[in-house]
Amino acid sequence: MTMFDTTAPAAPVVPTRGRLRPLGLDDVRITGGFWGERQAVNGTATLDHIESRLESEGWLPNFDLAAAGTLPEGRRGREFADSEIYKYLEALAWEIGRTDAATDAPLEQRFRAVVSRVGAAQETDGYLNTQFGRPGQGERWSDLEWGHELYCLGHLFQAAVARHRTRPDADDGLVAVARRAAELVCGEFGTDGRDAICGHAEVEVGLAELGRALGEQRFIDQAALFVERHGRGSLAEIEWGQEYFQDDVPVRAAEALRGHAVRANYLASGATDVAIELSDDRLLDALRGQWDRTVDRRTYVTGGQGSHHQDEAFGADWELPSDRAYSETCAGVGSIMFSWRLLLATGDTRHADLIERTLFNVVATSPAPDGRAFYYANTLHQRVPGAPADPEGTSKRASSSLRAPWFEVSCCPPNVARTFASLAAYVATADDEGVQLHQYAPASVRTTLPDGRVIALDIETGYPADGGIRVTIADDAEFTLTLRVPAWAAGATVRVDADGESAQHPAAPGVVEVRRAFRTGDVVELTLPLAARVTSPDPRVDAVRGSVVVERGPEVLALESLDFGADVVDAVVAGEPVESGGQVRMPLRNRASGEVAEALLVPYHDWAQRGPSTMRVWIPTA
């Protein structure tokens, strides 16, 4: 693996070694298109909406009560409510970096105001939590199974990393708050302290990245301690078993992700960070094997993960029921976190393929077009038309009938917000030879290689509506431009227009590399075939045996009753998909009437945007 320069880009994940070096918000700008539109809505609507609900639900005022010394009276929200403020701060920090907000801009002022309220609640020894530790509350660290104290701090650490990397000279104090809390954790849970873990993994990934950002090896070592302590059964036995906490099998011995899907992905992400920083190739190999089996056998066609509602957990191999798919939005975010770390470590494009699938079909599915309502869970088969959520109300978390403005457990809205705000950091990477493009969006890339070569690229594309990705070289340089060719893109081509000549070549799934002395104005164009394709399930997935799904490019398509004219339970495939003008229609037979007609299939991320309907992704063939 290559060792990287210590100058860190403005990115959520910056390992000190690996196959690829991430490019951050200072290197990459998304300038429009599918993801640019979502970033704009996130910045102008979603962040406002989240802060408003954090206030009205009382979760942010909890910090004011802590600072005033009046807790527990008046505290509102669940034991993990603090974490949503930290995720919101992280999203704000990335958005400030993305937009280059000035110190007197409203976004920056909002950030500082929230940090001030959070910092005022911190105890003198660094402890920070509004649920524990005061008269009338439980003692510190007294409920490691369910208390989420360390979990909340993990999100605080990630927020501080975002602030440090986007505004390293900021004087708001968030980084100092995080450092004090991390030092307390190391003292309390280090080798001479409590031999314990948190019931919800997250502190591992937070500590590891904070250690990288601040150059504090002690924080990374503490993350490693937490990772190694998983799997000893130290947490109490619960009805769903200790695998719910990933406390049944050591991380090194696990064969797949299991238990609570968000916890599992967060732990795997932190363990990957530890493996990279400590040069632990055996741990990294174990995690790669877990990713392989999880993707092959425990992941939905949408990229969603988690098939159990009761414990928000993975099922057994091949246990992927459509109508009971939990596929939590936060699990999708966690999956992207894990896959991105493995991509940086290995360069394996399968990880980028899963990131793309999950982004388009889980993360993009959650928010409504206005950015003010969300899915918590993402079913693949809606049997009963949903009821519109109360726009002023707070919904149960697992309701998947229609998007809701807020939830009693509202982890998903700020998780989506921080992902969208930092999305440019997942577009491209670099190595000693050049630049690699992993996700496709209109963008500008400006970076410098370790030997001083300046790379400047401008990307134009209508992806995923069309499959043309046009990369224009904006500065002379000799380097290798690497473009990902998704696994589904058989028949892709790459054309190079340079020196007055044009040459086109096949581009097999994987990557295509173009190495040359580029001149300003040279163009490399990748064309991905987006024709609708029919996919059959693995026959071991008995819940959808005898059904097919239609996909177009990275998007999974869905059938809604609004377009079928009847309940989708009666739909049967009666022919091949037909595409016209970017729309896909499928000949379907109505099992009840026997009539055959072409029905529109919509991108899954757009389902239920026109009102209540029944919906299915997998359609029976008989």
The closest alpha carbon to 209, from 165, 173, 150, belongs to: 165
Given this model, what pLDDT does residue 95 score? 98
Percent of the residues in the chain that have a pLDDT greater than 70, as a whole number? 99
Over residues 226-259, the pLDDT tens digits come to: 999 999 999 999 999 999 999 999 999 999 999 9
Is the predicted pLDDT of residue 399 greater than 60, yes or no? no
Residues near 365 by beta carbon (within 8 Å), at least 6 away in sequence: 302, 329, 375, 378, 604, 605, 607
12-36 pLDDT tens trace: 999 999 999 999 999 999 999 999 9
Average model confidence (pLDDT) for the chain? 96
When mean pLDDT is compared over 97-111, 365-379, 385-399, the highest value belongs to 365-379
pLDDT at 104: 79
Contact 158, 209 (CB under 8 A): yes
Amino acid 101: pLDDT: 81
Picking from 524, 327, 370, 366, the residue whose alpha carbon sits closest to that of residue 435 is 524
pLDDT tens-digit readout, 167-203 = 999 999 999 999 999 999 999 999 999 999 999 999 9
Q: 359 falls in which pLDDT band (50, 70, 90)?
A: very high
The residue behind tokens 């320069």 is: 5
* pLDDT at 5 exceeding the cut of 80: no
Calpha distance 595→607 (Å, rounded): 24
Residue range 254-265: mean pLDDT, rounded: 98
Q: How does strand 434-437 pair with strand 477-485?
A: parallel
pLDDT, tens digit (0-9, with 9 covering 90-100), for 296-338? 999 999 999 999 999 999 999 999 999 999 999 999 999 999 9
Return the axis-axis angle of helices 412-421 and 329-346, rounded to nearest 10°.
Answer: 40
Across residues 425-448, what is the average pLDDT? 98
- State the CB neighbour count (10 A cutoff) for residue 611: 11
Distance (Å, whole) CA 467 – CA 531: 10
**In sequence order, what are the residues at sequence separation of 6 or more whose Cβ sits closer than 8 angstroms to the Cβ of residue 103?**
none
pLDDT-derived band at 400 (thresholds 50, 70, 90) equals low
Report cis status (omega within 30 of 0) of the bond before 539.
Answer: no
Tell me what the mean pLDDT of segment 472-491 comes to.
98
pLDDT on residue 396: 80
pLDDT interval class at 109 (50, 70, 90): very high
Instruction: Count H helices and E strands in the chain, helices first.
Output: 15, 24
CA distance 129 to 121: 8
Q: Does residue 6 register a pLDDT over 60?
A: no
Please identify, in words, the CATH class of the domain defined by 428-527: mainly beta
In this prediction the pTM is 0.97
Looking at residue 221, its pLDDT comes to 98
CA distance 515 to 416: 36
The answer, yes or no, to whether residue 397 has pLDDT greater than 90, is no
Checking if the pLDDT of 503 tops 90, the result is yes
The domains of the chain are located at 57-229, 231-426, 428-527, 533-620
Is the torsion defined by CA of 183, 184, 190, 196 positive or negative?
A: negative
Q: How far apart are CA 521 and CA 313, in angstroms?
A: 50
Per-residue pLDDT at 466 exceeds 70: yes
Tens digit of each residue's pLDDT (9 = 90 or more) over 80-102: 999 999 999 999 999 999 999 88
Neighbour-count burial for 527-557, b at 16+ CB within 10 Å, e otherwise: bbebebbeeebeeebebbeebbbbbbbbbbb
Cα gap 347→202, rounded to integer Å: 25
Percent of the chain with pLDDT over 90: 95
Q: Which residue has the tokens 């708050």?
A: 177
pLDDT in tens, 125-155: 999 999 999 999 999 999 999 999 999 999 9
